[in-house]
């Protein structure tokens, strides 16, 4: 049996967003998204947990160097999302509603391309301490 | 592959309870349950995390509207359990010992009947920050 | 000696903002405020702790009913600030930079007018878990 | 100037209680205390922070040995309050409403008699993460 | 279907360690492990979550008595690791690098031998709130 | 009245230490400091909160730029203490026992010399979430 271990790195970013479907009129957007539809945006302290699963290397004892993982997250995710307006500043959300579900998929897809496919990857994103999402689902 | 995402909503309630098996005498109850058997009850700030897994809808980006999920939890769970004595005020625990395991099963069963079966459901219940339970087990 | 006790109520709101001084040009704003100056805004999960100090009433044991205090905060503060853009949606910040220092003063002044002056008041505001402010200073 | 330092020890206990004034009828109790008046009690995970202020001793570097402080709190407070019903099991609350304000005063008075008066003492008590009290007020 | 529930117990210990591979020279150790390689050690407040999965017993409602689980963790893990230097005081790490991955495997193996094999076991270990590991991986 | 506001910045570092008085023999050190006297050291994730009190500047709305405060803490404190052995690597503790009381005084004295004396300063240091100290005492 291989000794597969999951390691996690937690990082945070602050961003503005609004929930909005441009195919709907304002009344429907307001009914569906409520105060999250505020045209002037609101924002969150997003906390993300990135989980990488693999076998620890014999010489280092690392599944992945968590400092290296932290650097990847900073370069690929925080550089793009931190202190940004998700709707206006990110092409990914030009037509995609930045719900916590869609943001976590976008983050996963970026990181998936940067981490060796021998390792499994999962991302959890906290929009608030009481609302969060995880992708892919177990 | 469908993009299954898990979303979570965290809610809390405060309740009194005691651990007790009426089929046993006081001495045995005291040995098995210790101070949790205090006849006058004790209590906890329970924190629950409700996890719903499904595919985000194309028009909303929601697996389930977390506001709607929060409302269901408030109506079906908090209304029944918050500021209550689990042993005395809830028929579910008239004959069932309100351990964290049994409480989380009761909560799951109530919520399962209210959430579309296309979606998977799991509940985690914190009795204290150091003691908690999850149902169904993964 | 009267038995003065402090009671605290914690509430949260989510808002967008940017730091900006309209008297300065973009270059200077960028140097002083860095990424907090992003023209499209960013946002936070603000957590506030409202501290009220007084003598508990003999008949209730309350300095102030924390449910009542929570209702005041919801009506006077959350209704105005939650899911809003502080720069655009609040007249208070039309000319005042919404730093955590200035936001906590604005919140204090609103609440001070609603709480009996026999009681002392202090507000702490967390912009992130690592950056926060308190007014008035002790 | 002497180098006065404050040290803090945090401990927790779980208890049942209800808010009730026996001088009032049920209707008035219900209006004033709401669901906290449930006759069958509810409960909380109480967290307490005990703050002791004094000058660190030259030979130990301790204001007070935090292990010793923890032992005092366990013997004098947790032994009495943990896994108890505050209204029924504690003579202190036979006629005193166990609000967070009154509980924190009771805890302070017990600890004050056990800690050298050269040192200042203050107690903070969390009934929930969002409702707490501190005595004596600063 | 059997009602399998997971229960969790959280405990903590404080320990010193350094990351080091004795097969490498100092320069390579420094490149790979950076400041974690400090020859004089550094340390952490480790938090561990032990997850036990099984069917609650009909008479107690317990998967496993969490007080009993806590006692096992104290005797088998905390007694060995708390307030220790992992590299110097533990034979397990005489030749094994005490990364969070390797520590969590060591803890799991000790506990696995003490808990009935009818029950599944998993351990999560936090080295900091932002770096943690879980074994076995799901 | 001037509008004095306190702002806080929270930072963390990981360090090894032991409690020991070289003027005492091993037996006495062991009695007084218990497992904290382990000759091979143990360690902690220290969390520090630096509080700066002053009047917000009219043009920035800052008491002190929290980014600048964070940079000072990183340069003056984290650079010296993070991933270090406090007893062996820091001249300040060559003869001074690194209790949480003495560490917080050392940190305060370093920072006090770097921050404009128009502003008041206080430091809180968490050795664990349950043991912490604050200097100067209020």
* pLDDT number for residue D66: 98
pLDDT of residue B46: 98
The SS3 assignment for B90 reads coil
Q: Which residues contact A87 (CB under 8 A, 6 or more apart)?
A: A16, A17, A18, A20, A41, A93, A98
The answer to whether the CB of B110 falls within 8 A of the CB of B48 is no
- For E95, phi then psi, to 5°, come to -125, 0
Q: Are A89 and C38 in contact (CB under 8 A)?
A: yes
3-state helix/strand/coil string of chain D: CCCCEEEEEEEEEEEEECCCCCCCCHHHHHHHHHHHHCCCCEEEEEEEEEEEEECCCCCCCCCCCHHHHHHHHHHHHHHHHCCEEHHHHCHHHCCCCCCHHHHHHHHHHHHHCCCCCCCEEEEEEEEECCEEEEECCC
Looking at residue C81, the DSSP 8-state letter turns out to be: H
Run of H or E residues at A136: none
Maximum Cα–Cα distance across chain B: 60
Q: What are the chain F neighbours of D3 within 8 Å (beta carbons)?
A: 105, 135-136
Domain residue extents for chain A: 5-16+45-135
For residue B1, the model assigns a pLDDT of: 52
According to the 3-state scheme, what is the secondary structure of chain E?
A: CCCCEEEEEEEEEEEEECCCCCCCCHHHHHHHHHHHHCCCCEEEEEEEEEEEEECCCCCCCCCCCHHHHHHHHHHHHHHHHCCEEHHHHCHHHCCCCCCHHHHHHHHHHHHHCCCCCCCEEEEEEEEECCEEEEECCC
All residues of chain F having their beta carbon less than 8 Å from the beta carbon of residue D63 are 101, 133
User: What distance lies between CA C20 and its chain's CA centroid?
Assistant: 19
Per-residue pLDDT of chain B (138 residues; tens, 9 = 90+): 579 999 999 999 999 999 999 999 999 999 999 999 999 999 999 999 999 999 999 999 999 999 999 999 999 999 999 999 999 999 999 999 999 999 999 999 999 999 999 999 999 999 999 999 999 998
Q: Which residues does D4 contact at the CB level (< 8 Å), separation at least 6?
A: D53, D54, D55, F135, F136, F137
Q: What is the pLDDT of residue D9?
A: 98
Q: Evaluate if residue E1 carries a pLDDT over 70.
A: no
Mean pLDDT of E76-104: 98
Annotated catalytic residue within B42, B75, B79, B83: B83
Residues C115 and F93: their CA atoms lie apart, in Å, by: 49
Q: Which two tokens stand for residue D5?
A: 């330092």
Exposure string (b/e) for B2-38, b if CB count within 10 Å is 16 or more? eebbbbbbbbbbbbbbbbbbeebeeeebbebbeebbb
Residue A105's pLDDT is: 98
Contact between chains at C61 and D19 (C-beta distance less than 8 A): yes
Q: Residue C133 and residue F65: Cα distance in Å, rounded? A: 12
Helix and strand numbers, DSSP H then E, in chain C: 5, 5
H or E element, residue B28: helix B26-33
Alpha helices in chain F (DSSP H): 26-33, 66-73, 79-81, 86-89, 100-112
Q: Which residue in this structure is represented by tokens 């390689």?
A: E37
Residue carrying the six token digits 């046993």: B24
- Separation between Cα atoms, residue E10 and residue D6, nearest integer Å: 28
Query: Within chain A, which residues score under 50 in pLDDT?
Result: none
Query: What pLDDT is attached to residue D1?
Result: 52
Q: Which two tokens stand for residue B42?
A: 């004790």
CA dist B64 and B118 (Å) reads 11
pLDDT in tens, C60-75: 999 999 999 999 999 9
CA nearest to E132, candidates B91, B39, A7: A7
Q: Is pLDDT above 60 for C1?
A: no
Q: How many CA atoms lie within 13 A of D22 on its CB side?
A: 7
Tell me, what's the ipTM? Answer: 0.96
Q: B130 contacts in D (CB within 8 Å)?
A: none
The Cα–Cα gap between F66 and F56 comes to 12
Show the beta-strand stretches assigned E in chain C: 5-17, 42-54, 84-85, 120-128, 131-135
Are residues C33 and C19 in contact, defined by beta-carbon separation less than 8 angstroms?
Answer: yes
Using CA coordinates, name the residue in chain D closest to C1: D136
Specify burial of residue A22 (Cβ count, 10 A radius: 0-12, 13-18, 19+). Answer: exposed
* D120 in contact with F, Cβ within 8 Å: yes
Strand partners, B14: B45
Please give the Cα distance from B111 to A11 (Å, whole number). Answer: 32
Q: What is the pLDDT of residue F92?
A: 97
Query: In this complex, do D44 and B44 lie within 8 Å of one another by their Cβ atoms?
Result: yes
Angle at E81 between CA E76 and CA E83, to 5 degrees: 135
Distances (CA, A) of F74 to C123, E2, F13, F83, F100: 28, 54, 10, 13, 19
Tokens of A80: 């793009």
The closest of E33, E43, E102 to F40, measured between CA atoms, is E43
For residue D47 the two structure tokens come to: 């967290």
pLDDT in tens, chain D (138 residues): 579 999 999 999 999 999 999 999 999 999 999 999 999 999 999 999 999 999 999 999 999 999 999 999 999 999 999 999 999 999 999 999 999 999 999 999 999 999 999 999 999 999 999 999 999 998
Q: Which member of E97, E133, E134 has the closest CB to residue A60? A: E97
Q: How far apart are CA F138 and CA D47, in angstroms?
A: 22
DSSP state of C93: G
A83 given a catalytic annotation: yes
Q: Are C13 and C78 in contact (CB under 8 A)?
A: yes
> Residue B33 and residue D46: Cα distance in Å, rounded?
21
Residues 23 to 82 of A: which have CB under 8 A from any E CB? Answer: 53, 56, 59-63, 65-67
Contact (CB, 8 A) for C3 and A29:
no
Q: Longest Cα pair distance anywhere in chain E, in angstroms? A: 60
The reply to whether residue A137 touches residue B6, judged by beta carbons under 8 angstroms, is yes
Instruction: Give the 3-state DSSP-derived string for B109-136, with helices as H, strands as E and coil as C.
Output: HHHHCCCCCCCEEEEEEEEECCEEEEEC
Helices (H), B34-115: 66-73, 79-81, 86-89, 100-112
Asked about E36 being catalytic, the answer comes back as yes
* Class for the domain spanning A5-16+45-135: alpha beta
Q: What chains are in contact with A, requiring at least 3 Cβ pairs below 8 Å? A: B, C, E
Query: Under an 8 A CB cutoff, do A7 and E101 touch?
Result: yes
Q: Which two tokens stand for residue E72?
A: 């096992």
Q: Which residues of chain F have pLDDT under 70?
A: 1
8 Å CB contact of E40 and F84: yes
Residue with tokens 């390792």: A119
| Rounded Cα–Cα distance for residues C104 and C112 (Å) | 12
Angle at B95 between CA B91 and CA B99, to 5 degrees: 95
Contact B101 E8 (CB under 8 A): no
B136:E10 CB<8 A: no
F105 in D contact zone (CB under 8 Å): yes
Could you tell me if A128 lies within 8 Å of chain C, comparing CB atoms?
Answer: yes
């Amino acid at each position: 049996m291989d000794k597969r271990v999951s390691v996690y790195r937690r990082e945070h970013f602050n961003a503005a967003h609004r929930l909005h479907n441009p195919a709907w009129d304002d009344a429907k957007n307001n009914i569906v998204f409520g105060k999250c539809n505020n045209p002037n945006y609101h924002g969150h302290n997003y906390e993300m947990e990135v989980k990488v699963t693999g076998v620890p290397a014999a010489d280092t004892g690392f599944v992945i160097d968590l400092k290296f993982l932290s650097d990847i997250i900073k370069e690929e995710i925080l550089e793009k999302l931190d202190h940004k307006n998700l709707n206006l500043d990110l092409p990914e959300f030009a037509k995609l509603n930045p719900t916590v579900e869609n943001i976590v998929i976008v983050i996963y897809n970026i990181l998936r391309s940067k981490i060796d496919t021998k390792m499994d990857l999962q991302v959890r994103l906290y929009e608030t301490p009481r609302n969060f999402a995880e992708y892919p689902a177990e």
